[in-house]
Amino acid sequence: MNGSGRRLAVVGNGMVSVSLLERLAALETDWRVTVLGDEPHPAYDRIGLSQVLAGERAAGDLPLRDRAWYASNGFELRTGCRVLALDPERRRLHLEGCPVEFDACVLATGSLPFVPPIPGADLDGVLGFRTVEDVDAMLARARPGGQAVVIGGGLLGLEAARGLLAQGMEVTVVHLVDRLMERQLDHGAAGVLRDELERMGLRVLLSASTRAIEGCGRVERVALAGGDVLPAELVVVCVGVKPNVALAAAAGLDVGRGIRVDDGLATSAPGIYAVGECSEHDGMVYGLVAPLYRQAAVLAERLAGDRTAAFRPLVTATRLKVAGVDLFAGGRTVPEAGDREVLLRDDGGGVYKKLVLRDDSLVGVALVGDLGPMAALADALARGERVRDRMALLGVGAETAPPAGADLPDHATVCGCNGVTKATILDAIRAEGGGATRQCVARRTRASSSCGSCAPVVEGLLRIAGAGRPAAPAGAPDVCACVPLPRAALRLRVLELGLRTVGEVLEQLGDGVGCHRCRPALSYYLDAWWCGEHREEPASRHVNDRVHANIQRDGTFSVVPRIRGGMTSPAELRRIADVAERFGVGAVKITGGQRIDLLGVRKEDLPAVWAALGMPSGHAYTKAVRTVKSCVGTEWCRFGVGDSTDLAVRLESLLEGLYTPHKLKLGVTGCPRNCAEVTVKDLGIVAVVGGWELYVAGAAGMTVRKADLLCTVETAERALEESAIAVQFYREEAEYLERMYHFVPRVGIEAFRSATVDAGVEARAGLLERFRRSRANARDPWQAVPAGDPARFEPALAVAR
């Protein structure tokens, strides 16, 4: 961000380079970054080139970031700048002009098209398909009715073929192997793809080797090894790419097929890293964008000082749209000995679905035409879960036979091990929303979590309730028009892709921009889903969350320090009084939650006010754990039956700092007289003889609602544990801005109870573990922030010019 830090040189300005820069910007590191790109323009969306060729998108839409973005983030961008040599010892890059010195260097040099040694490959009219210039050249030569040959039937070659077809050309694809896209697809899927492409008018020649490209000065025909000759006025060569390792190899770095890197993307030379298509990790060179973006994320975290960030390849499946045909493939699609195949094939319908299983776990998948079960398959593949109902996973059986369980009465017991009825399961599915899966049902009800024999019935009930297809849910609303996925499906994608900032979520799963509704919502979800191990993006937060105070109608702020359980001391009160006088606050008010509110503080005074108070934030400005209101209890009250102040202080200490879907107000009262009014709190605890009663979902605001009794426990420790589990469940399952008193009636108190108090040992342990992790990652913003970005609190400075 500023000019004082260490120097980082990034060689290469492609998609992965930009991804790295975006993440560095989000992490607000102090690196002084220079980006050297050899193309004459800033990085663009290379994947979008095929759309430009097909006339679906303008070339002007391709740039990923404009020059102003680089400048505003303090990145120096040099385009049209070729790096001639890398000197790892002296940490220097040689260019045509002055050398660039660095403390660390990232090689993001990408890959180069592989040009096979075919005679005539240098003729005019023989092109690659890699850059904007290649596409411009193709468009300049393409003409309706003209004949084109694409050499190479991989992803890129087929995209080029589709584009030229859209330009009205007659296109033949010549492919050396006996099936298209052999790296991703098995014979069956490739066959269906070929049929679909031929139906569109593409001609496909397999097992065909090019002997020569011929012509006089410019290309006229392609001669095949078998003797056939294809007339051609345009030839596009897409037989693959090779990692661009020249710079690294000349500098003596360890280079295999790519530049060899470790889990932290470090090369064999100290201070030099490599990411993207030029790198080789654990023997693998990656070409698809998802794993490469993960590399960029890991490297950014490393550069920001996180030594634990590590790139670990996941078995992920990728959705590809090849020449207009939907494909979804991942893992190994060609079975090895001992694997089992499950296959559905509809030749006339252009549909092909194949699963490859090893010991009942999914290890490979290929779908063509109908990607219906895609989300569930991606999930099963990434987790390597055991697959019980293979047909359901293929999306088969839904229309042909009534789903299992359809004929059962509501009171019938479905899961004998845990005594769960059909009605309870249907309630749980409804509570979960459209993203419900069998695992969700198991978590909520324990059904199917023991012997598993009822799993097919649970799957059937999921289908009856219209759930079980996270990609296309019935009923669950999308998070926002800007991020068109329901919350449950979005959570899955966010965790799978490792997205830790709002910007990344919008970039990869949304419209890239977002709005003032979804960006705060996403900010909350990321915090909750990653248990605080996300990256805050202040620009996506309401001003209250940026400056950790509550904006008032006149633009000043209110400050409410945390006073746990409402228990304070003369010294603390004196300090508060001193602060109020010193900073001339407009008003001092005791709040309804038994706290002290200092109103009318100027934004630029906030850091000084916090420092003078020396108290933690009360979070009164945000959707978070607010206050635990208390009465004095047995310590002083002649009626008290429990030590309510002590429990209130412990409860507030346990929960403070946690963000919640909406504000969370709590109370602990020492006897059923209920002086702390806990039966109208989001979570309230009442001391009774022999223990404590826990209530949830009370309200005394826009609506008034008496809380529901959740459970009765014997000890204060149990009361704390049940509170933590209930709060964590609410944090994970409620929509953003859904108060506890809306959430609990929506899911039903019985379902809430069976997912918390009565949940299985594992489910409870999971909730507690995520709760503790979130709590451990919670920082008091009044201590953390002023040092972070003081500029946020001050008006901008300007000088006249």
Partner 1 sequence: MTLAVPLAGLRPNEGRLLVAGGREIALFLTAAGPRAIDARCPHAGGPLADGIVSGTRVICPLHLRGVNLDTGEVDDCAERVRCYPARIAGDAVVLAL
Site residues (CB under 8 A) for partner 1?
1-3, 25, 65-66, 68-69, 71-74, 513-516, 519-520, 538-544, 546, 551, 553-555, 789, 791-792, 795-801
Least separation in angstroms between residue 513's CB and partner 1 is 5
Q: Which is nearer to partner 1, 506 or 720 (CB)?
A: 506
- Kindly state the tokens that stand for 697: 């979902």
Residue 23's contacts (CB-CB under 8 Å, 6 or more residues apart) are 296, 297, 300, 301, 501, 504
Question: How buried is residue 633: exposed, middle or buried, by Cβ count under 10 Å (0-12/13-18/19+)?
Answer: buried
Least separation in angstroms between residue 61's CB and partner 1 is 14
Least separation in angstroms between residue 794's CB and partner 1 is 8
- Kindly state the tokens that stand for 435: 């993203």
**Measured CA angle at 44 (ends 42, 48), to 5 deg:** 165
Least separation in angstroms between residue 100's CB and partner 1 is 19
Least separation in angstroms between residue 148's CB and partner 1 is 38
Q: Which is nearer to partner 1, 302 or 519 (CB)?
A: 519
Least separation in angstroms between residue 504's CB and partner 1 is 14
Q: Which is nearer to partner 1, 215 or 510 (CB)?
A: 510
Least separation in angstroms between residue 104's CB and partner 1 is 21
Q: Which is nearer to partner 1, 607 or 640 (CB)?
A: 607
Least separation in angstroms between residue 512's CB and partner 1 is 9
Q: Which is nearer to partner 1, 702 or 761 (CB)?
A: 702
Q: Which is nearer to partner 1, 571 or 796 (CB)?
A: 796
Q: Which is nearer to partner 1, 519 or 681 (CB)?
A: 519
- Kindly state the tokens that stand for 410: 């509501």
Closest CA to 17 of 77, 96, 60, 88: 77
Closest CA to 665 of 655, 673, 675, 674: 655
- Kindly state the tokens that stand for 466: 């219209």
Residue 207's contacts (CB-CB under 8 Å, 6 or more residues apart) are 175, 176, 177, 178
| Buried b / exposed e along 349-360 (16+ C-beta atoms within 10 A) | ebbbbbbbbbee
Q: Which is nearer to partner 1, 98 or 799 (CB)?
A: 799
Q: Which is nearer to partner 1, 65 or 595 (CB)?
A: 65
Q: Inter-axis angle of helices 455-464 and 422-432, to 10 degrees?
A: 60
Secondary structure E strands in 285-371:
317-322, 325-331, 340-346, 351-358, 361-368
Q: Which is nearer to partner 1, 336 or 604 (CB)?
A: 604
Q: Do 712 and 694 contact (CB within 8 A), yes or no?
A: yes
Interstrand relation of 126-127 and 708-713 (parallel, antiparallel or unpaired): unpaired
What's 790's DSSP letter? G
Q: Which is nearer to partner 1, 69 or 79 (CB)?
A: 69
Closest CA to 192 of 17, 363, 351: 351
Q: Which is nearer to partner 1, 354 or 541 (CB)?
A: 541
Least separation in angstroms between residue 33's CB and partner 1 is 14
Q: Which is nearer to partner 1, 1 or 315 (CB)?
A: 1
**Alpha helices, DSSP H, located in 388-501:** 390-393, 422-432, 438-445, 455-464, 487-497
What's 644's DSSP letter? H
Total residue length of the chain: 801
Question: How buried is residue 538: exposed, middle or buried, by Cβ count under 10 Å (0-12/13-18/19+)?
Answer: middle
Closest CA to 743 of 663, 679, 797, 671: 663
Least separation in angstroms between residue 25's CB and partner 1 is 7
Interstrand relation of 596-601 and 625-630 (parallel, antiparallel or unpaired): unpaired
Q: Do 658 and 634 contact (CB within 8 A), yes or no?
A: no
Q: Which is nearer to partner 1, 69 or 748 (CB)?
A: 69
Least separation in angstroms between residue 72's CB and partner 1 is 5
Least separation in angstroms between residue 583's CB and partner 1 is 19
Least separation in angstroms between residue 21's CB and partner 1 is 12
What's 637's DSSP letter? -
- Kindly state the tokens that stand for 492: 């899955």
Least separation in angstroms between residue 141's CB and partner 1 is 35
Element (H, E) at 51: helix 49-53
| Buried b / exposed e along 64-92 (16+ C-beta atoms within 10 A) | bbeeebbeebbbebebebebeebebeebe
